[in-house]
Amino acid sequence: MARGALFIAIEGPNGVGKSTASTLLAERLRAGGMRVHVTSEPSDTPLGRLVRTGEAGLVGRALALAVAADRYHHMDTEIVPALMDGLTVISDRYVQSSLVLQRIDGLEIEEIWQYNAHVLRPSLSCYLHHTAQELAQRLAQRTRRSRLERVGSPQRELDLYQDAYQFLLARHWPQALVNCQEVSPDRVAAELALLVARTAQRQEGAR
């Protein structure tokens, strides 16, 4: 990773505002002079697109392994090269998403963790949190829902995200919890930008 480059994961349940926050955070960081690359998982590659479009029929362990394979490929071909180039990378979804979505699909958390054992640890994984009621309202407005969105529920997702947060905390994964209740998209992005600045300071101090 080049000096000053950070790897930021944006995590949280469906509809919490991950893609909105990723875009607004990138705008803020760029305005502050940082070079930023925004990406998401599943990745924008043939394998990532296969996961996205095949998720209805690709189930359980097969989906977990396909998602993990996509993550390693994403890391090798996009995330690490961008970091080496000095860019800060923001990924909309990363490991915490798998620790939740693959559990909804029937896997145990330890097995999912094993499939992700060799991924790059982010500089900071930001978990966006909201209430189940608000998430349900936002999802009701969507015309298309994925199989896992239909099988799970906002409350189950929130419970599993909480579990995943604790699981990652016990493994010293750098994390922050961002409460989005009654917080505008701009303020969420401002809080994330502050967390990124603190992470940059910590990383610089550790050199």
Ligand X SMILES: Cc1cn([C@H]2C[C@H](O)[C@@H](COP(=O)(O)OP(=O)(O)O)O2)c(=O)[nH]c1=O
Ligand Y SMILES: Nc1ncnc2c1ncn2[C@@H]1O[C@H](COP(=O)(O)OP(=O)(O)O)[C@@H](O)[C@H]1O
End-to-end Cα separation, the chain, in angstroms: 12
| Residue 181 Cβ vs ligand Y, minimum distance, rounded to whole Å | 9
DSSP letter for 45, please: S
Binds 15: which of ligand X, ligand Y, none (CB < 5-8 Å by kind): ligand Y
What is the closest distance, in whole angstroms, from the C-beta atom of residue 84 to ligand Y in the complex? 27
Which among ligand X, ligand Y, none contacts residue 24 (Cβ within 5 to 8 A by kind)? none
Nearer to ligand Y, 5 or 93 (CB): 93
- Which among 6, 2, 1 has a CA at the least distance from the CA of 32? 6
Which of these, 178, 194, 150, 156, lies nearest to 11 by C-alpha position? Answer: 178
Reference 203, options 93, 97, 116, 83; nearest CA is: 83
Other CB atoms within 10 Å distance of the CB of residue 140: 9
52 binds, among ligand Y, ligand X, none (CB under 5 to 8 A by kind): ligand X
State yes or no: cis peptide before 174, omega within 30 of 0.
no
Per CB under 6 A, 41 contacts ligand X: yes
CA angle 79, 173, 147 (to 5 degrees): 65
Q: Residue 101, interface with ligand X (CB under 6 A)?
A: yes
The footprint of ligand X on this chain (CB under 6 A) covers a number of residues equal to 14
- Position 156 contacts ligand X (CB under 6 A): no
Cβ 131 to ligand Y shortest distance, Å:
12
Binding status of residue 42 toward ligand X by CB under 6 A? yes
Which C-beta is closer to ligand Y: that of 26 or that of 188? 188
- By the 10 Å C-beta count (0-12 exposed, 13-18 middle, 19+ buried), 201 is classed as exposed
Q: How far is the CB of 128 from ligand Y (least distance, A)?
A: 7
DSSP assignment of 150-175: HHS-HHHHHHHHHHHHHHHHHTT--E
Residue of 98, 125, 175, 199 interacting with ligand X (CB under 6 A): 98
Binding residues vs ligand X (CB under 6 A): 41-42, 51-52, 55, 63, 67, 93, 97-98, 101-102, 146, 148
